[in-house]
């Protein structure tokens, strides 16, 4: 069994960096398409990828950020600031060459074992001081089999979730007792909690409301949160449904790093993660998933939600 302890430590270090940037140096740059990126995205990925390069040097990495972008998009004084923070947090002297090398480490390589990094998932939430996640997924032969999610803004205190060998766990992000988690068994609409993105541009809120109504879940409490923390809440039994249906006509693909760790953790907690037709998400190649939407649930309500999505897709066609 792979030892996740070094990754847990790297996620904790990345979370410290994210918090320090959020408190003292928050400036965002535009990656294009109005997608923001901050020095914390690069700093956190450098810490996570460095850890994998040290402990699993032959593995492949699929990660959101790139060294070239760090050099092009980030002003020199900001680069110096994040390099100083990485050095301080790791307790070693780090150079710009190191950071660029770590950012790109293991990328453009295919190997049976592939780590999937989203250093800050929900960057818009992070910038707005809402929820965000630090995510490391693990694929073996392109199937999500493990994952780690740091959730610094989890209700009740920062948490670290992980899935390994078919079981899901949570522990306080800063360390403490590790406990197994399992999805909620609830099917009673009035007591269900449904999750969706805060950002209206990320998913079509009206379509998803329609699905919940057709599925008989219109009474469910609706909670808007950013990031893969949505997967963590389903795994922990703190919510039962997470829908992600794109705007009609959207051609924007789903990125593997936005879903890999979450998929592994929810499945290990006994939940379901599927495409709109109930089939598993397709992680088989490249950086994008080949599916139409994402339905995440506690399992018990899955079939009725898929039936409702299918009915609405037929009506829309
Ligand atoms: P969430 O916080 O769950 O809404 O999702 C965050 C993720 O949404 C980010 O990691 C992006 O990859 C993705 N994203 C950003 N902009 C868009 C968009 N216009 N449409 C769909 N997804 C987006
Ligand atoms: Mg993301």
pLDDT digits (tens, 9 = 90+) for 78-124: 999 999 999 999 999 999 999 999 999 999 998 999 999 999 999 99
Catalytic option among 41, 104, 121, 226: 41
Residue 272, pLDDT above cutoff 90: yes
CA of 193 to the centre of ligand 1 (A): 21
Q: Confidence class of residue 1 from pLDDT cuts 50, 70 and 90? A: confident
Name the residue with the closest Cα to ligand 1, atom 13: 202
Atom of ligand 1 lying closest to residue 34 CA: 16
Of 119, 197, 256, 258, best ligand 1 pocket probe by most atoms within 8 Å of the beta carbon: 258
Residue 297, pLDDT above cutoff 90: yes
Name the residue with the closest Cα to ligand 1, atom 8: 202
Q: State the average pLDDT over residues 32-41.
A: 85
Axis-axis angle for helices 205-214, 302-316 (nearest 10): 120
Atom of ligand 1 lying closest to residue 227 CA: 2
Q: Does the annotation mark 123 as catalytic?
A: yes
Q: What is the CATH number of domain 189-316?
A: 3.40.190.80
DSSP label of 126: H
Catalytic option among 38, 123, 263, 274: 123
How would you class 243 by CB atoms within 10 Å of its CB: exposed for 0-12, middle for 13-18, buried for 19 or more?
buried
Name the residue with the closest Cα to ligand 1, atom 7: 122
Distance in angstroms (rounded) separating the CA atoms of residues 60 and 110: 6
Of 202, 225, 226, 254, best ligand 1 pocket probe by most atoms within 8 Å of the beta carbon: 202
* Distance between first and last Cα of the chain: 47
CA of 288 to the centre of ligand 1 (A): 13
Residue ranges, comma separated, of all CATH 3.30.540.10 domains in the chain are: 5-129
CB-defined site of ligand 1, < 6 Å: 35, 121-122, 125, 197, 199, 201-202, 226-227, 252, 255, 258
CA of 133 to the centre of ligand 2 (A): 8
Q: What is the CATH number of domain 5-129?
A: 3.30.540.10
Residue 262, pLDDT above cutoff 90: yes
CA of 227 to the centre of ligand 2 (A): 7
The percent of residues in the chain predicted with pLDDT above 90, rounded, is: 92
pLDDT for position 17: 98
Q: Confidence class of residue 140 from pLDDT cuts 50, 70 and 90? A: very high
Residue ranges, comma separated, of all CATH 3.40.190.80 domains in the chain are: 189-316
Residues 6+ apart with CB under 8 A from 246: 203, 204, 252, 292, 293
Of 120, 149, 199, 223, best ligand 1 pocket probe by most atoms within 8 Å of the beta carbon: 199
Comparing C-alpha atoms, which of 26, 51, 24, 23 is closest to residue 39?
A: 26
Q: State the average pLDDT over residues 7-16.
A: 98
Which structure tokens are listed for 145? 């089999």
Atom of ligand 1 lying closest to residue 118 CA: 10
Q: What are the CA-CA distances from residue 242 to residues 20, 53, 125, 164, 195 (Å)?
A: 30, 33, 17, 22, 5
Ligand nearest to the CA of 153: 1
Q: State the average pLDDT over residues 33-58.
A: 94
Atom of ligand 1 lying closest to residue 246 CA: 21
Which structure tokens are listed for 104? 């790109």
Name the residue with the closest Cα to ligand 1, atom 17: 202
DSSP label of 236: T
């Amino acid at each position: 069994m792979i030892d996740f302890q070094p990754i847990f430590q790297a996620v904790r270090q990345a979370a410290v960096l994210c918090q320090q940037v959020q408190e003292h140096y928050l400036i965002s740059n535009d990656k294009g398409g109005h997608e923001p990126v901050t020095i914390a995205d690069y700093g956190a990925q450098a810490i996570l990828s460095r850890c994998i390069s040290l402990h699993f040097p032959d593995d492949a990495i699929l990660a959101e950020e790139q060294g070239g972008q760090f050099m092009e998009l980030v002003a020199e004084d900001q680069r110096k600031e994040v390099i100083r923070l990485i050095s301080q947090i790791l307790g070693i002297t780090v150079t710009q060459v190191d950071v660029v090398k770590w950012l790109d480490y293991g990328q453009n390589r295919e190997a049976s074992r592939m780590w999937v990094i989203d250093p800050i998932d929900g960057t818009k939430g992070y910038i707005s001081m809402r929820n965000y996640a630090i995510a490391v997924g693990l694929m073996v032969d392109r199937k999500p089999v493990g994952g780690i999610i740091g959730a610094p803004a989890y209700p009740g205190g920062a948490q670290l979730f992980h899935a390994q060998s078919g079981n899901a766990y949570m522990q306080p992000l800063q360390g403490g007792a590790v406990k197994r988690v399992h999805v909620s068994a609830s099917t009673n609409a009035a007591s269900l909690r449904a999750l969706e993105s805060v950002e209206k541009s990320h998913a079509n809120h009206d379509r998803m409301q329609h699905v919940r109504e057709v599925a008989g879940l219109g009474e469910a409490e609706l909670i808007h949160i950013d990031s893969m923390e949505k997967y963590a809440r389903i795994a922990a039994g703190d919510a039962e449904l997470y829908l992600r249906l794109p705007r009609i006509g959207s051609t924007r693909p789903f990125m593997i790093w936005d879903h890999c760790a979450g998929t592994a953790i929810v499945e290990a907690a006994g939940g379901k993660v599927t495409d709109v037709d109930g089939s598993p998400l397709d992680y088989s190649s490249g950086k994008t998933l080949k599916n139409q939407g994402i339905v995440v649930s506690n399992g018990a309500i899955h079939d009725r939600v898929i039936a409702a999505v299918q009915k609405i897709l037929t009506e829309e066609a």
